[in-house]
Amino acid sequence: MQMQTLTSTQADDVRGALLAAEKRTGLRFAAYVGPAIGPRRHFSERLHAALGEEADRAVLVFVDQRARGLEIVTGPRARERVSDADCRLAAMSMAAVLGVGDLVGGIVAGVWLLADQVSRHG
C-alpha cells in the first residue's frame, strides 16, 4: 500500500479496512493512492502484478485524487468472486465519497462494498 497523501492515522484506517476485508473474504486486498506513471489502467495493472504470487487472488484499488482517477483490478481467482458489476458498483460508491473530498472514506467504502459482494457470492 502506498499512502503518500495520508496521515499515519488515515493510512492505519485504510490498512484496517484492507485487513478486515481479507479476513472476511480470503482474498488479498491492496490500495495505492497517488499519481499513475503513464496510462492509469496500465499502471494499475502493473501494480497489481507486483503483488507477485498473491496477484491471482488479489483486488487492487487505485486512487489518483488529483487526476480524479480510480481503477479496480482483480486477479483471475478474485474475478471468480468479484464481478465487473461489483467493481462498477464499488467504483460508483467510491467516486461519490471521493467527490466530496473524503479520500479515506471513499477507499474504505469501496473495499467494504467489494468484501460484502464477495461474501454474498460465497
Give the span between the Cα atoms of 52 and 57, in whole angstroms: 10
pLDDT above 60: residue 3: no
CA distances in angstroms from 18 to 11, 42, 44, 78, listed in the order given: 11, 23, 17, 15
pLDDT above 90: residue 66: no
List alpha helices for the chain, DSSP H.
8-25, 40-49, 76-79, 84-99, 103-121
Q: Which fold has domain 2-121?
A: Diaminopimelate Epimerase; Chain A, domain 1 (3.10.310)
| pTM: predicted TM-score of the whole model, two decimal places | 0.91
Write the pLDDT tens digit of every residue in 80-99.
999 999 999 999 999 999 99
Mean pLDDT of all residues belonging to the chain: 92
Nearest Cα residue to 66 out of 2, 1, 3, 5:
5
pLDDT above 80: residue 8: yes
User: Which whole number is the average pLDDT over 6-31?
Assistant: 94
